[in-house]
């Protein structure tokens, strides 16, 4: 009796204590470590598999495993979107490109910025809760094709995962910003970098890499989310065939290559698009371009060069190959197929199909059966002249006769930045349309037979012979950006809205609306059905990242990260000034004011007499184009300075900057092992001569 009573009492106490703990947890102040721990630790496979049950949150890069970026929230809709105002903005104090899609759970936001720095923020206040800086060595910038950006983080069971520019994958505790574990995912002696967002599928963190422009071999690795142990690795292109193949898939792929491609890297880096079909257990990988770009050089004598520019399905448990579809066989134009992959269930010709969709760089929009890889339709979503169409019988593009620029320089569309790049598209199951931030643009390709592989720099073998670009070529380069609404069932455009530039931002869609920022700093909403612009807000600095939406304490918010940059943004700008990296959050009747604008220093053109000979200047130009031009554009200039407007004393000490690396802390890499003192003097003379030309 006593024991019984005692037990009863203990049970009662226990129940009371747990109730107390539970209610404490529940009442932990929003934004406190306990609150963050409690809401982020609930993000598990169950929750990620059922996004319809968490419409208020944005838990993974593309919103869900299907990566459709369609939010069912509809408090902000066509009838009130014109009342959207700023709720708050926060300055990140950065000055390079921000491409990130933030993640949000119960109002706690996680996002990545330049140099792979991770921020946790409270969306209720806009306050930064913690910052995690992985301390990427700034010299890493020398390996980077396209700015020191990072597109996002992953969230799983109380932890945040980030891939760093120098090739690490790091697990961070969501509540504190403290590191749990870190693994090196790449051979750091090579030009590998990571800019893409990790994904978590089935308890594994999936991460790819970049570097196919600089001579590496691509692959995707899955790590155990708990401890960072490698589970599987899928190479996207074959290695040295004299060594054992890693898999049957690599053995098959090697049959489609010629020459000694593995010495040049091969390429195929998977740096952006992934998706996951949980029912099939398939991870979909979008693969990159060839390295070098020019197939004549990479695989002399031809071949499809699998699995370049492909969508590849692999088993989530083992990384084993399931099927592939190659968008650009024998890739030779930098036509990556890493662009975002979207899964959807749509009716095509009277049949319900489970599809995977992509608008890769090559200009065709592909709809495939995601179980079998069968091609369902493929039509151009922008101006294309490398192929006339895709043959639906063979699934292969029909190339135009001169598209491979073997004998002549050829003006080919799309350009290497693609009809569509990493700027996310979105699929709206209500309008049944895909919204693609796209562009029309061509590029003059040339066959560099004198190409020599240099593991330290760009390896395209497709640059034209210097200055052979004619005025007609320049005129032929139509350059414009546009937002396109695409009907994937019919394979055709439904509406278009001309953009501000060829480097506008990624999109978000809700039932009635599409949101997109542009290079001029305008953040706009369009009617999803018609493309009519219904709202705009001037954020005063170019936008490249896609917006997100979420609900906190009963109110719907829209957030967009602004930080002009990326491959084109570090090079050119479209606004008067470039503002620091900022997070802007909107709500209905938001009344916050725009932050004060930072004025750029007035610039004066360099005025130093050219003392070098014309051949020195020409040599300087050659070196500049090879080593410096990807960051420093002397015609315009974006986030990285146009050197013809630098101070004379700065260009006067160019040798210390370029060879000794005194500006490495600012992100200007040292070229000490690549150029001689004379080379630097020639570059200096070239900069003076370009400035002098502008004076005239
Ligand atoms: C990966 C990108 C990158 C490359 C490639 C690059 N730079 Fe830089 N450079 C930078 C950055 C970033 C800065 C610092 C900008 C700042 O002050 O915020 C910089 C600054 C400079 C400056 C100082 C400019 C000023 O007005 O303060 C000079 C001079 C310069 N670079 C020369 C060169 C030369 C010459 C090359 C080629 C040999 C080169 N850079 C290649 C990124 C690059």
* Range scoring the smallest mean pLDDT among 424-438, 481-495, 622-636: 622-636
Q: Which pLDDT value is given to residue 14?
A: 54
Q: Which pLDDT value is given to residue 21?
A: 53
What average pLDDT does range 504-519 have in this prediction? 98
Q: Which pLDDT value is given to residue 435?
A: 98
Cα(588)–Cα(614) distance, integer angstroms = 61
User: Are 583 and 559 within 8 A, CB to CB?
Assistant: yes
Percentage of the residues of the chain whose pLDDT score is greater than 90? 88
Q: Which pLDDT value is given to residue 10?
A: 56
* Range scoring the smallest mean pLDDT among 503-517, 593-607, 679-693: 593-607
- Closest alpha carbon to 458 in 214, 184, 177, 113: 214
Assess whether pLDDT exceeds 50 at residue 24: no
Assess whether pLDDT exceeds 80 at residue 27: no
Q: Which pLDDT value is given to residue 12?
A: 55
Which residues have CB under 6 Å of ligand 1? 141, 144, 627-628, 630-632, 640-641, 643, 646, 650-651, 654, 657-658, 663, 666-669, 671, 683
What does the mean pLDDT of the chain come to?
94
Assess whether pLDDT exceeds 50 at residue 622: yes
Q: What angle do CA 460, 626, 96 make, to 5 degrees?
A: 95
Q: Which atom of ligand 1 is nearest to the CA of 142?
A: 1
Q: Which pLDDT value is given to residue 22?
A: 52
Confidence of residue 444 (pLDDT cuts 50, 70, 90): very high
Q: What angle do CA 648, 652, 657 make, to 5 degrees?
A: 115
Q: Which atom of ligand 1 is nearest to the CA of 95?
A: 18
Computed from CA positions of residues 403, 406, 407, 410, in that sequence, does the dihedral angle turn out positive or negative?
positive
Q: Which atom of ligand 1 is nearest to the CA of 675?
A: 38
Q: Distance, CA 605 to ligand 1 centroid (Å)?
A: 17
Assess whether pLDDT exceeds 50 at residue 198: yes
Residue in the block written with tokens 């990620």: 48
Residue in the block written with tokens 């051949």: 615
* Range scoring the smallest mean pLDDT among 54-63, 173-182, 249-258, 454-463: 454-463
Percentage of the residues of the chain whose pLDDT score is greater than 70? 94
Confidence of residue 17 (pLDDT cuts 50, 70, 90): low
At 118-147, the pLDDT tens digits run 999 999 999 999 999 999 999 999 999 899
Q: Distance, CA 669 to ligand 1 centroid (Å)?
A: 7
Confidence of residue 465 (pLDDT cuts 50, 70, 90): low
Q: Kindly give, in sequence order, each residue whose CB lies less than 8 Å from that of residue 208, ignoring residues fewer than 6 positions away.
A: 194, 196, 218, 219, 220, 221, 269, 270, 271, 272, 274, 285, 338
Question: Residue 17's CB: how many other CB atoms inside 10 A?
Answer: 10
At 101-110, the pLDDT tens digits run 999 999 999 9
Assess whether pLDDT exceeds 80 at residue 479: no
At 347-386, the pLDDT tens digits run 999 999 999 999 999 999 999 999 999 999 999 999 999 9
Nearest CA to ligand 1 atom 5: 628
Spacing of C-alpha 225 from chain mean position: 22
Cα(108)–Cα(89) distance, integer angstroms = 15
Nearest CA to ligand 1 atom 10: 668
Q: Which of 641, 645, 649, 661 to mutate to test the pocket of ligand 1 (most atoms within 8 A of CB)?
A: 641
Nearest CA to ligand 1 atom 25: 646
- Closest alpha carbon to 172 in 24, 164, 249: 164
What average pLDDT does range 175-197 have in this prediction? 97
Q: Which pLDDT value is given to residue 426?
A: 98
At 392-403, the pLDDT tens digits run 999 999 999 999
What average pLDDT does range 596-604 have in this prediction? 88
Residue in the block written with tokens 């996004």: 51
What average pLDDT does range 421-443 have in this prediction? 97
Cα(68)–Cα(367) distance, integer angstroms = 14
Residue in the block written with tokens 């590191």: 179
Cα(378)–Cα(484) distance, integer angstroms = 16
Burial class of residue 202, CB neighbours in 10 A (0-12, 13-18, 19+): middle
Q: Which pLDDT value is given to residue 470?
A: 67
Cα(165)–Cα(144) distance, integer angstroms = 8
Q: Distance, CA 184 to ligand 1 centroid (Å)?
A: 28
Q: Distance, CA 572 to ligand 1 centroid (Å)?
A: 15
Nearest CA to ligand 1 atom 9: 668
What average pLDDT does range 203-224 have in this prediction? 97
Assess whether pLDDT exceeds 90 at residue 639: yes
Tokens of 234: 């899928």
Q: Kindly give, in sequence order, each residue whose CB lies less than 8 Å from that of residue 141, ignoring residues fewer than 6 positions away.
A: 148, 667, 668, 669
Q: Which of 668, 674, 691 to mutate to test the pocket of ligand 1 (most atoms within 8 A of CB)?
A: 668
Q: Which pLDDT value is given to residue 8?
A: 55
What average pLDDT does range 588-597 have in this prediction? 97
At 525-557, the pLDDT tens digits run 999 999 999 999 999 999 999 999 999 999 999
Nearest CA to ligand 1 atom 34: 628
- Closest alpha carbon to 294 in 233, 362, 213: 213
Nearest CA to ligand 1 atom 15: 640
Q: What would you report as the CA-atom Rg of the chain, rounded to the nearest whole angstrom? A: 26
Question: Residue 393's CB: how many other CB atoms inside 10 A?
Answer: 7
User: Are 207 and 186 within 8 A, CB to CB?
Assistant: no
- Closest alpha carbon to 208 in 289, 290, 281, 272: 272
Q: What angle do CA 388, 393, 399 make, to 5 degrees?
A: 25
Computed from CA positions of residues 484, 67, 275, 230, in that sequence, does the dihedral angle turn out positive or negative?
positive
Confidence of residue 2 (pLDDT cuts 50, 70, 90): very low
Q: Which pLDDT value is given to residue 601?
A: 83
Confidence of residue 515 (pLDDT cuts 50, 70, 90): very high
Burial class of residue 696, CB neighbours in 10 A (0-12, 13-18, 19+): exposed
Confidence of residue 11 (pLDDT cuts 50, 70, 90): low
Tokens of 239: 């290695």
Q: Distance, CA 622 to ligand 1 centroid (Å)?
A: 17
Q: Which pLDDT value is given to residue 571?
A: 86
Cα(577)–Cα(49) distance, integer angstroms = 43
Q: Which pLDDT value is given to residue 230?
A: 98
Cα(361)–Cα(417) distance, integer angstroms = 7
Higher pLDDT, 234 or 13: 234
Tokens of 446: 């040339």
What average pLDDT does range 9-18 have in this prediction? 56
Cis, peptide link before residue 545, omega less than 30° from 0: no
Nearest CA to ligand 1 atom 18: 666
Q: Kindly give, in sequence order, each residue whose CB lies less than 8 Å from that of residue 23, ignoring residues fewer than 6 positions away.
A: none
Q: Which pLDDT value is given to residue 288?
A: 98
Q: Which pLDDT value is given to residue 473?
A: 64
268: left (phi > 0), else alpha (psi -120 to 50), else beta?
A: left
At 54-89, the pLDDT tens digits run 999 999 999 999 999 999 999 999 999 999 999 999
> What are the distances in angstroms from CA 396 to CA 86, 287, 352, 364, 378?
48, 17, 24, 12, 10
Q: Which pLDDT value is given to residue 330?
A: 98
Cα(435)–Cα(427) distance, integer angstroms = 6
Taken as a whole, the chain contains a residue count of 696
Cα(188)–Cα(209) distance, integer angstroms = 12
Nearest CA to ligand 1 atom 42: 668
Nearest CA to ligand 1 atom 31: 668
Tokens of 638: 């974006």
At 254-300, the pLDDT tens digits run 999 999 999 999 999 999 999 999 999 999 999 999 999 999 999 99
Q: Which pLDDT value is given to residue 563?
A: 97
Question: Residue 479's CB: how many other CB atoms inside 10 A?
Answer: 13
């Amino acid at each position: 009796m006593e024991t019984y009573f005692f037990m009863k009492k203990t049970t009662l106490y226990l129940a009371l204590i747990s109730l107390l703990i539970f209610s404490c947890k529940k009442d932990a102040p929003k934004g406190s470590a306990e609150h963050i721990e409690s809401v982020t630790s609930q993000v598990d496979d169950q929750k990620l598999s059922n996004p319809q049950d968490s419409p208020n949150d944005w838990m993974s890069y593309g919103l869900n495993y299907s990566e459709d970026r369609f939010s069912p929230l509809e408090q902000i809709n066509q009838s009130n979107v014109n009342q959207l105002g700023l709720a708050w903005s926060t300055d990140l104090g950065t000055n390079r490109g921000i491409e990130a899609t933030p993640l949000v759970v119960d109002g706690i936001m996680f996002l990545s910025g330049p140099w792979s720095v991770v921020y946790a923020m409270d969306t209720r206040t806009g306050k930064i809760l913690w910052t995690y800086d992985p301390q990427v060595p700034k010299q890493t910038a020398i390996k980077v094709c396209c700015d020191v950006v990072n597109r996002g983080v992953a969230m799983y069971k109380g932890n945040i995962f980030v891939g760093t520019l120098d090739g690490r994958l790091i697990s961070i505790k969501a509540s504190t910003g403290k590191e749990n574990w870190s693994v090196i995912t790449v051979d750091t002696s090579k030009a590998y970098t990571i800019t893409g967002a990790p994904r978590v599928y089935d308890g594994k963190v999936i991460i790819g890499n970049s570097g196919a422009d600089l001579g590496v071999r691509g692959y995707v690795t899955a790590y155990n989310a708990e401890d960072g142990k490698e589970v599987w690795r899928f190479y996207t292109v074959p290695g040295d065939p004299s060594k054992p193949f890693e898999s049957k898939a690599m053995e098959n792929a090697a049959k489609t290559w010629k020459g000694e491609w593995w010495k040049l890297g091969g390429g195929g880096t998977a740096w952006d698009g992934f998706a996951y079909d949980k029912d099939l257990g398939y991870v979909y990988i979008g693969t990159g371009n060839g390295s070098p770009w020019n197939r004549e050089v990479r695989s002399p004598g031809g071949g499809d060069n699998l699995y370049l520019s492909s969508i590849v399905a692999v088993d989530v448990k083992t990384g084993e190959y399931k099927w592939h579809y190659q968008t650009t066989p024998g890739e030779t134009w930098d036509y990556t197929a890493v662009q975002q992959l979207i899964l959807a269930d749509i009716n095509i010709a009277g049949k319900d199909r489970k599809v995977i969709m992509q608008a890769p760089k090559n200009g065709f929009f592909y709809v495939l059966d995601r179980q079998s890889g069968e091609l369902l339709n493929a039509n151009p979503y922008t101006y294309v002249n490398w192929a006339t169409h895709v043959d639906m019988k063979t699934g292969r593009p029909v190339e135009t006769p001169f598209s491979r620029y073997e004998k002549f320089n050829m003006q080919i569309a799309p350009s290497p930045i693609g009809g569509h790049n990493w700027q996310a598209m979105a699929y709206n199951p209500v309008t049944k349309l895909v919204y693609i931030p796209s562009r029309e643009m061509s590029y003059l390709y040339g066959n560099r037979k004198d190409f020599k592989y240099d593991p330290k720099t760009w390896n395209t073998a497709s640059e034209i012979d210097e200055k052979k670009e004619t005025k007609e070529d320049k005129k032929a380069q139509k350059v414009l950006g546009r937002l396109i609404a695409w009907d994937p069932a019919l394979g055709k455009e439904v509406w278009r809205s001309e953009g501000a530039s060829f480097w506008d931002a990624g999109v978000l869609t809700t039932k009635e609306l599409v949101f997109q920022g542009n290079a001029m700093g305008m953040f706009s909403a369009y009617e999803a059905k018609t493309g009519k612009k219904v709202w705009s807000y001037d954020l005063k600095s170019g936008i490249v990242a896609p917006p997100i939406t979420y609900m906190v304490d009963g109110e719907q918010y829209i957030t967009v990260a602004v930080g002009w940059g990326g491959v084109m943004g570090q090079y050119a700008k479209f606004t008067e000034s470039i503002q620091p990296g900022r997070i802007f959050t909107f709500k209905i009747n938001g009344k916050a004011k725009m932050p004060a604008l930072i004025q750029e220093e007035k610039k004066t053109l360099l005025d130093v007499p050219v003392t070098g000979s014309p051949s020195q200047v020409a040599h300087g130009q050659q070196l500049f184009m090879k080593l410096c031009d990807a960051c420093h554009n002397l015609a315009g200039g974006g986030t990285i300075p146009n050197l013809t407007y630098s101070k004379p004393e700065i260009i006067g000490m160019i040798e210390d900057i370029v060879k000794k690396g005194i500006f490495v802390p600012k992100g200007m890499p040292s070229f000490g092992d690549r150029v001689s003192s004379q080379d630097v003097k020639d570059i200096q003379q070239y900069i003076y001569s370009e400035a002098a030309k502008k004076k005239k």
